[in-house]
Amino acid sequence: SYVLTQPPSVSVAPGQTARITCGGNNIGSKSVHWYQQKPGQAPVLVVYDDSDRPSGIPERFSGSNSGNTATLTISRVEAGDEADYYCQVWDSEVVFGGGTKLTVL
Amino acid sequence: QVQLQESGPGLVKPSQTLSLTCTVSGGSISSGSYYWSWIRQPAGKGLEWIGRIYTSGSTNYNPSLKSRVTISVDTSKNQFSLKLSSVTAADTAVYYCARVTPGNDYSYYFDYWGQGTLVTVSS
């Protein structure tokens, strides 16, 4: 089955740019979706189809996907962005990455 | 605005069947090209997809759970349901229901989620 690999943690200072990666075999040929999950809450879709944002998601959230790596980029990071982030693809079934904990220093 | 709400027992005994229902409001479960899905998350761990159903009744399941899972839909009640049989402590998790929307390249993503419900498997 298809595997998505995320770093367990990423740390960034407020106002800086956070980049969270999601690795998979030829993932650039797939559409990648990203979710933000804060403690005790349900996940929220923040990017779909590699780089599109749902209504209500700040422009600070963006995505890219090429080769074997997809990336979620959060610009001008705020304290409220501290959360777990998951990537997801469809490969005859739903596949989630293991999640990345974003810490805002 | 679509809303989803999970309901069902919070405690299930080992070897028994876990049963949950998701009630959809703010729109008809039959409208549009959406699937409806169940996802779970053990405490402190990541997300695990359980399966999905289309309003026609067509289903897809996670291969690792397929032998124990049944997802069904009741369009008259705007609900869909999950049954997971022969549960063990490893099935203890927060269970989410979600709407599945088609994306590009035959992909799918979850755009609306329920708040989640904790199910504990214990005697």
Q: What is the pLDDT of residues B20-41, one digit of tens each?
A: 999 999 999 998 889 999 999 9
Strand partners, B72: B81
**Confidence class of residue B106 from pLDDT cuts 50, 70 and 90?**
confident
Q: What are the chain A neighbours of B114 within 8 Å (beta carbons)?
A: 42
Query: What confidence score (pLDDT) does residue B45 get?
Result: 97
Q: Which residues in chain B are closer than 8 Å to A95, comparing Cβ atoms?
A: 49
Output the pLDDT for position A88. 98
Handedness of CA A65, A55, A101, A13 (dihedral sign): positive
Cβ–Cβ of B63/A93 closer than 8 Å?
A: yes
- Give contacts of A 53-82 with B, CB under 8 A: 54
According to the model, what pLDDT value does residue B105 have? 80
Q: Name residue B102's amino acid.
A: P
Supply the pLDDT for residue B121.
98
Task: Tell whether A95 lies on the interface with B, counting CB pairs under 8 A.
Answer: yes
**Three-state SS for B51?**
strand
B104 touches chain A (CB under 8 A): yes
> Which of A50, A90, A91, A94 best probes binding to B when mutated, by most B CB atoms within 10 angstroms?
A94
A45 contact residues in B (CB cutoff 8 A): 109-111
Q: Does A10 touch chain B if contact means CB atoms closer than 8 Å?
A: no
CA distance to partner chain B, nearest, from residue A26 (Å): 14
Residue B60: pLDDT over 90 = yes
- Which of B60, B5, B10 lies closest to B71, judged by CA? B60
Instruction: Name which of A88, A90, A96 is nearest B106 (Cβ-Cβ).
Output: A90
Whole-number pLDDT of residue B32: 84
Task: Flag whether pLDDT at B75 surpasses 90.
Answer: yes
Q: How far apart are CA B77 and CA B58, in angstroms?
A: 18
Q: Is B54 within 8 Å of chain A by CB?
A: no
DSSP code string of chain A: ----B--SEEEE-TTS-EEEEEE-TTGGGS--EEEEE-TTS--EEEEBTTTB--TT--TTEEEEEETTEEEEEE-S--GGG-EEEEEEEESSSEEE---EEEEE-
- Tokens 């106002």 sit on residue: A15
CB atoms within 10 A of CB B17: 13
Q: Please tell me the distance from the alpha carbon of residue B50 to that of residue A22, in angstroms, as a whole number.
A: 21
> pLDDT-derived band of residue B104, with 50, 70 and 90 as boundaries?
confident
Check whether B50 has a pLDDT greater than 90. yes
Q: What is the mean pLDDT of residues B43-69?
A: 95
Q: Within 10 A of A20 (CB to CB), how many other CB atoms are there?
A: 24
Average pLDDT, chain B: 96
Q: What is the pLDDT of residue B8?
A: 97
At A6 the pLDDT is: 98
Which portions of chain A are predicted below pLDDT 50?
A: none
- Any idea what DSSP says for residue B45? S
Mean pLDDT computed over B90-119: 95
Q: Binning pLDDT at 50, 70 and 90, where does residue B97 land? A: very high
